[in-house]
């Protein structure tokens, strides 16, 4: 049975502040056995990275399997038990929601937890409790998976985060001056940049990344309805000086600052998996080590791995998480 | 009516030397009106760039339309007349065939001209002659479009090449020492590199591009059945010295060396369009200027444009070629 | 009269902790008129950037004047009044002292203020009070000039800082993960790296800069005699986690945090000049804007300029500071 | 006895076409024993790289010895016999002369061979025949050393070339499109670029290197008095198309094309040494391998070494050549 791409009409995302669609297409991978039997299946929710979304996980490329192809292969070779894989779409006009609620971007956390999860349980033959549910992802998706698992241990029973955004001091802050350099071309005015952004014939130019990523994160971590753009930048757009109050709001969402507070939730999880490449261009291996260190000190069972690679094109690591999640989901 | 993805079983590609599949999936975009009427449509064949293939043109991304979405929009706004768009798959184990016949890679030119074209005419309500057919593409696809149009003016009546491979002296040769640097890690032995290549967990690392692109081009331009790998490298793999006889075989396939010989064919075309960004990372704007200069001197009608951008993420230029091709295809 | 290169035997630097020489060669530029008259001259002390030192300011290069050549030309064309220019040597084994006292690197501030200044006044016909003395420099030298002028307004009467180290959050912190990446090759052990450092056949490789610069700054800003290397790194060498207490010690030396406290001293200066390129690779234009903003709010007269360039090869900016300093030094 | 810096007034360089000075300062290193004895010494002539010149070899830097310091150390430790080291200045307005005669740049080969050599023999107690003379250099200086030794075996008896310009197809040609990109900012007109060049406040910007290096080489390899600038570019400045006749003039000066013709001369040399880093940014290791291969096939004794480094900051390799040259010069 092929992957089905469902159309989901979200009440929560309707009228979201960035004008993003509230109707989203959600691919759902169903294992081969799904069509022919009556049994129920565990569900893995797979969150995309920055600028990603569910359907893009079905994109074909010369050298990389799609998520369904990967799951099929791992299933065929007996390494992964049958599971449903749900691929949400939480993309925004700025490139991503971090799977959080924000007055600037929309209520994506609510959408995920309060809309998608129940809908999946209604729509498919799932194991409809936390033990049967895992959440995973890479990069911003790894961030989302980790944070959502901590915040909703009643919903998710296992988590795997690959190269997830962690230790914002190293993964975001070094981009601030680069963002400032770009904003300077727009008179240091983020509104003006965003108007230009919407009209750019292409948005893939590498020099744009630091700027749009910083802006997207500001919309997620420091929304402020009393501003024209709906969020506070963590720095003065002319001098670049950090705004400590805004920056602290960001840091409050940094996984390295969330673990201790959510220790009880994390302890309830069947699997806590995190990994990162030792040459990650965003230096995420350091955040992962800090998180792993905290888990260890808090005596929370977890698997922490490093591998010799950078941040990009590391989907082959899903082979590892799919297998581990599959075992965790199979446990009674 | 949605884009249909057809499965095509190629006789010509069966048993190809690189072990690539002979069954390919070919997306065919059909305009909205196709389903309801009985009229015949012109056909645009759209060739992918290096590491690309037809289905990848349907890949979704945050900021870029798919080819069908683009055609739909241009049709809706009246800028482009209805046309069928065929998206072949000529991908190989090394990343691409340049749409040529090669004893090292396979007979992709024959596949395109002798299999796909007739099949499209049989399978769909096409205008089954050169005047109703256009060929276009970007990068290696722009190369393929240009070369195929020159070689088969009886098949294709119009051509549009975006940022196509031209003037190999600037677009390929500077990669040779980089390829040598990489081969050095494999003892300067291309067989050893290719064995490693097949097993690499990821093939997207930027340092690999110069090497695999050079190898892929060698398989296309200088095949040699009497060698273990099936092709000659254009240089000594240890000293890097150019092998003039091999390099000349490459140059024989350089568009700047093909135009004069194919002037008659080019003159028959309804549209000859080529463009390139003025900051192309592979310096292809220079090749395009040389080709345009030759066309001008040979008094061959053509459109040559430059735009302020690089090589990547410039699909927005299809808006230009789709519109021009559409007009050319509509001519009597 | 040519520049004289004096040999200075420092008591203060004798037995310094890094084993650097206590005998230093100090070029002193004397204007043409010095030899023939009996008048006294103002003194500009020019501090070198990281890895620099006085004699290196005499280095010849194809396109750039030496400091004496520049002063001669500005003098000849009447733009700069005659002045003595002293070029101290405060280089250390790690690349620089930031012109501070440190138990890890040596007492370079004392050397500058308590040894060099009196020696210059004894040795040459100077105007031996603050009004006749200026301090200037670029990069780390701009830092040193600015900090020394704030701390010793009784010694220096004018200051010019070009592209000076400011706002450590942008100019140093983004290097920390790069330093960590390099330390990882040495098991995350700074002692082991430093042993390798001393033996490296070349130390100019660009990948080394972030590491040695971070280490040199730690020796300046967070010395700690109770550690094997004599200083604290501002982060855990394995996880990279910032050590807030150490980082705060660094920040206490950041010019953006020194201005308010030294407002009275700064107000006494005849000239406060700072500039920076708008494309500075270390993002120092932002720190300069913060400092200029504070000076403005504190109503401290100053000149703040920006220019369209990066951090390197901007000695042509000395033309600007030499002229302004010259005027300030001439004032009664 | 210290290095003396002699002022040399060249008749040959007087009125040179680029307006460069005909009076040059030539550092001459004299070994410690020179002052006290009456013996004669062998002479090593050390040629600078692009943008370099004799006096710059005396420049002080934090981590690298000057040439005299290096020679002193090698002498002190008994690894190198006493020798005079002459450091010519063949710099031009464009960065270098390649030590050739050119109607566009000046007669630097003649200056070297017909002026400097006899003057050194007159001025110092030298061993005034080829056996007592060695020529060496790095990069463009390595090129110059190699070419001069081949062309004047009656003058030079030994040669050492470090990372010398060789195989122009890899070391220069890949810069042509980069040069074209820069020329495009000046309307594709080299005269206009050169006028801007003379006025640039700084000339060290890395994006300039490909352009000025290409222009300098054109002035050396393809002078043409019938052009406004005095030389032919090897490509059309708008389309970039190689001009085969001009390019062949360049290739005629490529060491890989000179060895066979000068085999007899090379065979007369006491030492032929060449080396290159295996990560040379200009890919010069490949040219060195080609040259070494030819020497081997021609049965010309030589030493060819490779080392694990790039092109920059590799003066430590002089330790190797100084020692080998020293032995060759000592032979009877």
Task: Tell me the chain D residues in contact with residue C55 when contact means C-beta distances shorter than 8 Å.
Answer: 60
Contact A203 B62 (CB under 8 A): yes
DSSP string, D290-330: HHHHHHHHTT---EEEEES--SSS-GGGHHHHHHHHHHHHH
Task: Tell me the chain D residues in contact with residue B296 when contact means C-beta distances shorter than 8 Å.
Answer: none
For D206, residues 6+ apart whose C-beta sits below 8 A from its C-beta are none
Best to test chain B binding among A59, A61, A89, A91 (most B CBs inside 10 Å): A61
How many other β-carbons are positioned within 10 Å of the β-carbon of residue A136?
A: 29
B202-210 own/partner pairs: CB under 8 Å, 24+ apart: B202/A63, B202/A64, B202/A309, B202/A313, B202/A314, B202/A315, B202/A316, B203/A62, B203/A63, B203/A313, B204/A63, B204/A64, B204/A312, B204/A313, B205/A310, B205/A313, B207/B178, B207/B182, B208/B182, B209/B175, B210/B175, B210/B178, B210/B179, B210/B182
pLDDT at A205 over 90: no
Of A97, A85, A99, A98, the C-alpha closest to A4 is: A85
pTM: 0.96
pLDDT value for B1: 54
pLDDT at B332 over 90: no
Which residue on chain A is closest to B61 by alpha carbon?
Answer: A56
Backbone angles phi, psi at D220, to 5 degrees: -85, -45
Calculate the alpha carbon distances from B276 to A126, A202, B160, B303, B307 in Å: 52, 15, 11, 12, 6
Interface of D with C (CB under 8 A): 51-53, 55-56, 58-64, 91, 95, 201-205, 309-310, 312-316
Average model confidence (pLDDT) across chain B: 97
Backbone angles phi, psi at D6, to 5 degrees: -90, 150
Give the minimum alpha-carbon distance from D59 to chain C in angstroms, rounded to a whole number. Answer: 5
For D58, residues 6+ apart whose C-beta sits below 8 A from its C-beta are C60, D3, D5, D27, D66, D67, D68, D87
Give the minimum alpha-carbon distance from B238 to chain D in angstroms, rounded to a whole number. Answer: 8
Task: Tell me the chain A residues in contact with residue B196 when contact means C-beta distances shorter than 8 Å.
Answer: none
pLDDT at B152 over 70: yes
pLDDT value for B2: 81
Which residue on chain A is closest to C291 by alpha carbon?
Answer: A239
Calculate the alpha carbon distances from B222 to B111, B184, B219, B252 in Å: 19, 21, 6, 10
pLDDT at B122 over 70: yes
Distance CA B129, CA A137 (A): 50
Which DSSP letter does residue C3 get?
Answer: P
Best to test chain C binding among D5, D55, D138, D201 (most C CBs inside 10 Å): D201
Distance CA A141, CA A159 (A): 11
pLDDT at B314 over 80: yes
Give the neighbours of chain A: at least 3 Cβ pairs within 8 Å. B, C
Which DSSP letter does residue A36 get?
Answer: T
Residue A312 contacts residue A281 (beta carbons within 8 Å): yes
Distance CA B207, CA B188 (A): 16
Task: Tell me the chain C residues in contact with residue A256 when contact means C-beta distances shorter than 8 Å.
Answer: 241
Q: What is the pLDDT of residues D243-252, one digit of tens each?
A: 999 999 999 9
Q: What is the pLDDT of residues D30-39, one digit of tens each?
A: 999 999 989 9
Of A180, A242, A278, the CB nearest to C169: A242
Distance CA C305, CA C284 (A): 12
Of D95, D315, D316, the CB nearest to C62: D95
Report CA torsion sign: C259, C260, C266, C272.
positive
Q: What is the pLDDT of residues D210-220, one digit of tens each?
A: 999 999 999 99
Provide the token pair at D303.
Answer: 């030493």
Backbone angles phi, psi at A119, to 5 degrees: -65, -45
- In the 3-class helix/strand/coil scheme, how is B45-71 assigned residue by residue? EEECCCCCCHHHHHCCCCCCCCHHHHH
* Percentage with pLDDT > 70 across chain B: 100
pLDDT category, D1, cuts 50, 70, 90?
low
Contact B62 A53 (CB under 8 A): yes
3-state secondary structure of A24: strand
Q: What is the pLDDT of residues C113-145, one digit of tens each?
A: 999 999 999 999 999 999 999 999 999 999 999
Pairing of strands B4-9, A303-307: unpaired
For B21, residues 6+ apart whose C-beta sits below 8 A from its C-beta are B13
Give the minimum alpha-carbon distance from B245 to chain A in angstroms, rounded to a whole number. Answer: 32
Q: What is the pLDDT of residues D98-148, one digit of tens each?
A: 999 999 999 999 999 999 999 999 999 999 999 999 999 999 999 999 999
On whether ipTM exceeds 0.90, the answer is: yes
- Residues D111-147 as b/e (b if ≥16 CB within 10 A, e otherwise) read bbbebbbeebbebbebbbebbbbbbbbbbbbbbbbbb
Pairing of strands A4-9, A106-107: unpaired
With 0-12 / 13-18 / 19 or more C-beta atoms within 10 angstroms meaning exposed / middle / buried, residue A121 is middle
pLDDT value for A1: 54
Contact D60 C53 (CB under 8 A): yes
Chains B and C touch (3+ CB pairs under 8 A): no
- In the 3-class helix/strand/coil scheme, how is B227-278 assigned residue by residue? CCCCECCCECCCCCCECHHHHHHHHCCCHHHCCCCCHHHHHHCCEEEEEEEC
- Residue C199 host element (H or E): helix C190-199
Provide the token pair at C137.
Answer: 């420099």
Contact A170 C181 (CB under 8 A): no
Give the minimum alpha-carbon distance from C177 to chain A in angstroms, rounded to a whole number. Answer: 6
In sequence order, what are the beta bridge partners of B158?
A: B134, B271
pLDDT at C1 over 70: no
pLDDT at D172 over 60: yes
Contact B170 D181 (CB under 8 A): no
Of D170, D176, D241, the CB nearest to B240: D170
Q: What is the pLDDT of residues A243-285, one digit of tens each?
A: 999 999 999 999 999 999 999 999 999 999 999 999 999 999 9
Calculate the alpha carbon distances from A126 to A24, A40, A48, A86, C308 in Å: 21, 5, 22, 11, 61
Of C47, C50, C46, C48, the C-alpha closest to C282 is: C50
- Residue D29 host element (H or E): strand D23-29
Distance CA C232, CA A158 (A): 39
């Amino acid at each position: 049975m092929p992957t089905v791409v469902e159309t989901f009409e979200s009440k929560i995302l309707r009228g979201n502040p960035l004008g993003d669609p509230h109707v989203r297409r959600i691919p759902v991978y169903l294992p081969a056995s799904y069509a022919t039997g009556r049994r129920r299946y565990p569900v893995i929710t797979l969150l995309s990275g920055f600028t990603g979304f569910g359907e893009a996980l079905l994109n074909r490329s010369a050298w990389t399997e799609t998520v369904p192809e990967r799951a099929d292969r791992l299933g065929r070779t007996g390494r992964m038990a049958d599971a449903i894989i749900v691929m949400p779409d939480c993309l925004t006009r700025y490139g991503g929601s971090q799977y959080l609620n924000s007055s600037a971007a929309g209520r994506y956390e609510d959408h995920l937890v309060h809309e998608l999860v129940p809908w999946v349980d209604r729509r498919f033959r799932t194991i409809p409790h936390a033990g049967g549910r895992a959440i995973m992802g890479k990069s911003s998706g790894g961030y989302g998976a980790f944070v959502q698992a901590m915040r909703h241990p009643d919903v998710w029973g296992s988590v795997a985060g690959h190269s997830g955004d962690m230790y914002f001091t190293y993964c975001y802050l070094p981009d601030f001056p680069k963002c400032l350099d770009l904003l300077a071309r727009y008179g240091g005015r983020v509104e003006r940049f965003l108007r230009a952004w919407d009209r750019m014939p292409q948005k893939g130019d590498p020099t744009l990344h630091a700027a749009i990523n910083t802006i997207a994160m500001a919309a997620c971590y420091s929304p402020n309805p009393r501003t024209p753009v709906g969020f506070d930048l963590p720095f003065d757009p002319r001098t670049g000086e950090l705004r400590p109050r805004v920056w602290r709001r960001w840091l409050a969402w940094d996984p390295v600052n969330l673990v201790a507070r959510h220790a009880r939730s994390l302890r309830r999880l069947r699997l806590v998996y995190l990994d990162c490449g030792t040459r990650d261009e965003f230096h995420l291996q350091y955040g992962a080590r800090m998180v792993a260190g905290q888990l260890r000190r808090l005596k929370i069972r977890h698997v922490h791995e490093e591998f010799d690679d950078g941040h990009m094109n590391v989907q082959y690591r899903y082979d590892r998480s799919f297998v581990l999640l599959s075992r965790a989901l199979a446990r009674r």
